[in-house]
């Protein structure tokens, strides 16, 4: 038999062409939400500074007003990473955000609007004899009771009624006071003084060189001196400190003898309190700040009511733009009164100072609550001087 034919293998059908899969879409660029940066608190009328981190620039700052967002300040850029604007509301917690160039807003942040607190005290004498054994040992002792209250304030002001120097020759007068740089450093550390008034009748007790040492030692201790300097211009020059966005300017004046302590065009000394000089210095200070505090060394020792001269100088200062007038020298407390938008404390009496005569043991811490151009409220935290140390009542 013939062999069977070989099997026929069919030609394979070519596979259909498969289109390549489209490339996966690129992942979207994540939104740069970032964060807004604001201070914890700002005073009414103060300047609120707002910055941002991680936002697309240029960016804008917005504040929620009712149901709407309103732009505030200038645009944020790489060259200008923060902006500032005034907060006019008296209290509250304004809501803020920053919107980047991509339209993405940061989470809402809030800051607290509250008055700036200024604590002020009367005469501070760091001479060893008034401080007694404290001067040779526990220099922080006089501040143990009152220091925590003073440090809690946003700004602290006091009248430094002594020279602070290791040199100089005593001036020919009945009472001369001189403290050590170490005692001054202890006072500033314990009480947190920001500004110390040198316009008084004791800062020159050991001559011009010691007065200039006092100016330098106050700065070295971390505070700023006011009311004294190497020339009249330096003595009358305002000291400006900023807290809670509020610029507070301090000036200070003396009118208690001896007249040789008065600064002139080229002679070191203290600022003298003629009405014209007071008006000129306060107006200069007002141009630089939102609040002006004017310190005065005036009045009659142990008098519990202000003199006509004190009242006249207070009116001059307030009329020129001062917000608060704070007096010293009588060694006793005198009235604290409201005057329009301001406050006058005619005398805060002794503070760290020997108190031996009737009335001189009563003292206190004047607490002012400040907004731009006005005193929102005030009070006196009363204390009693024991030896030379103020101790809070209660």
- Shared-domain flag, residues 181 and 268: yes
- Shared-domain flag, residues 97 and 240: no
Q: Give pLDDT, residue 1.
A: 47
Q: What is the pLDDT along the chain (394 residues), one digit of tens a residue?
A: 455 555 554 555 454 445 555 665 554 445 568 999 999 999 999 999 999 999 999 999 999 999 999 999 999 999 999 999 999 999 999 999 999 999 999 999 999 999 999 999 999 999 876 555 444 568 899 999 999 999 999 999 999 999 999 999 999 999 999 999 999 999 999 999 999 999 999 999 999 999 999 999 999 999 999 999 999 999 999 999 999 999 999 999 999 999 999 999 989 999 999 999 999 999 999 999 999 999 999 999 999 999 999 999 999 999 999 999 999 999 999 999 999 999 999 999 999 998 878 899 999 999 999 999 999 999 999 999 998 899 999 8
- Shared-domain flag, residues 179 and 162: yes
CB–CB of 368/390 below 8 Å?
no
Q: Give pLDDT, residue 394.
A: 82
- Shared-domain flag, residues 288 and 345: yes
Give 287's contacts (C-beta < 8 A, 6+ positions apart). Answer: none
Phi, psi of 212 (to 5 degrees): -65, -35
The residue range of the domain holding 48 is 35-113
Give the CATH number of the domain where residue 104 resides.
2.60.40.10
- The span from the CA of 318 to the CA of 393, in Å, is 32
- Shared-domain flag, residues 158 and 78: no
- Shared-domain flag, residues 300 and 363: yes
- Shared-domain flag, residues 80 and 166: no
In a domain, 80, yes or no: yes
- Shared-domain flag, residues 128 and 246: yes
In a domain, 16, yes or no: no
In a domain, 22, yes or no: no
Q: What is the DSSP string of 199-243?
A: -SSSTTTTHHHHHHHHHHHHHHHT-EEESEESSHHHHH--EEEEE
Give the CATH number of the domain where residue 344 resides.
3.60.21.10
In a domain, 17, yes or no: no
pTM of the complete model: 0.90
- Shared-domain flag, residues 265 and 344: yes
- Shared-domain flag, residues 203 and 67: no
Last residue of a domain, one of 113, 142, 162: 113
Closest C-alpha to 233, from 265, 185, 200, 261: 265
Q: How far, CA to CA in Å, does 18 sit from each of 14, 15, 21?
A: 12, 9, 9
Q: Give pLDDT, residue 356.
A: 79
| Number of independent structural domains in the chain | 2
- The span from the CA of 187 to the CA of 140, in Å, is 7
In a domain, 26, yes or no: no
Q: Give pLDDT, residue 21.
A: 58
Q: Is 152 helix (H, G, I), strand (E, B) or coil?
A: helix
Last residue of a domain, one of 89, 113, 137: 113
As given in the structure block, the two tokens for residue 226 are 């006011």
In a domain, 268, yes or no: yes
In a domain, 189, yes or no: yes
- Shared-domain flag, residues 342 and 295: yes
In a domain, 1, yes or no: no
Last residue of a domain, one of 113, 135, 152: 113
- Shared-domain flag, residues 235 and 296: yes
Residue 279, exposed/middle/buried by CB under 10 A (0-12, 13-18, 19+)?
Answer: middle
């Amino acid at each position: 038999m013939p062999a069977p034919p070989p099997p026929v293998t069919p030609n394979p059908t070519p596979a259909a062409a498969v289109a390549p899969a489209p490339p996966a879409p690129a992942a979207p660029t994540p939104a740069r939400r970032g964060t807004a940066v604001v201070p914890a608190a700002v005073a009414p009328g103060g300047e609120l500074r707002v910055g941002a981190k991680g936002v697309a620039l240029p960016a804008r700052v917005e504040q929620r007003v009712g149901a709407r967002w309103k732009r505030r300040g200038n645009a944020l850029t790489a060259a200008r990473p923060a902006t500032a604007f005034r907060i006019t509301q008296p209290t509250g917690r304004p809501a803020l955000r920053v919107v980047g160039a991509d339209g993405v807003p940061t989470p809402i942040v809030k800051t607290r609007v509250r008055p700036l607190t200024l604590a002020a005290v009367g005469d501070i004498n760091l001479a060893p004899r008034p401080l007694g054994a404290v001067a040779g040992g526990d220099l922080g002792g006089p501040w143990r009771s009152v220091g925590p209250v003073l440090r809690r304030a946003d700004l602290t002001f006091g009248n430094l009624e002594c020279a602070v120097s290791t040199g100089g020759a005593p001036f020919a007068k009945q009472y001369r006071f001189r403290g050590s740089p170490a005692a001054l450093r202890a006072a500033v550390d314990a009480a947190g003084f920001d500004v110390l008034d040198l316009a008084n009748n004791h800062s020159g007790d050991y001559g011009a060189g010691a007065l200039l040492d006092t100016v330098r030692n106050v700065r070295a201790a971390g505070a700023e001196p006011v009311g004294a300097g190497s020339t009249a211009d330096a003595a009358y020059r305002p000291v400006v400190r900023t807290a809670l966005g509020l610029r507070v300017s301090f000036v200070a004046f003396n009118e208690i003898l001896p007249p040789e302590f008065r600064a002139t065009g080229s002679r070191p000394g203290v600022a003298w309190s003629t009405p014209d000089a007071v008006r000129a210095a306060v107006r200069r200070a007002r141009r630089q700040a939102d609040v002006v505090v004017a310190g005065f060394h005036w009045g009659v020792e142990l008098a519990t009511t202000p003199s006509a001269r004190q009242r006249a100088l207070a009116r001059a200062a307030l009329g020129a733009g001062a917000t608060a007038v704070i007096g010293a020298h009588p060694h006793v407390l005198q009235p604290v009164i409201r005057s329009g938008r301001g406050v006058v404390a005619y005398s805060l009496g002794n503070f760290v100072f020997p108190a031996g005569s009737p009335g001189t043991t009563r003292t206190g811490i004047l607490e002012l609550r400040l907004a731009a151009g006005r005193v929102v409220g005030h009070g006196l935290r009363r204390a009693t001087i024991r030896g030379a140390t103020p101790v809070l009542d209660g």
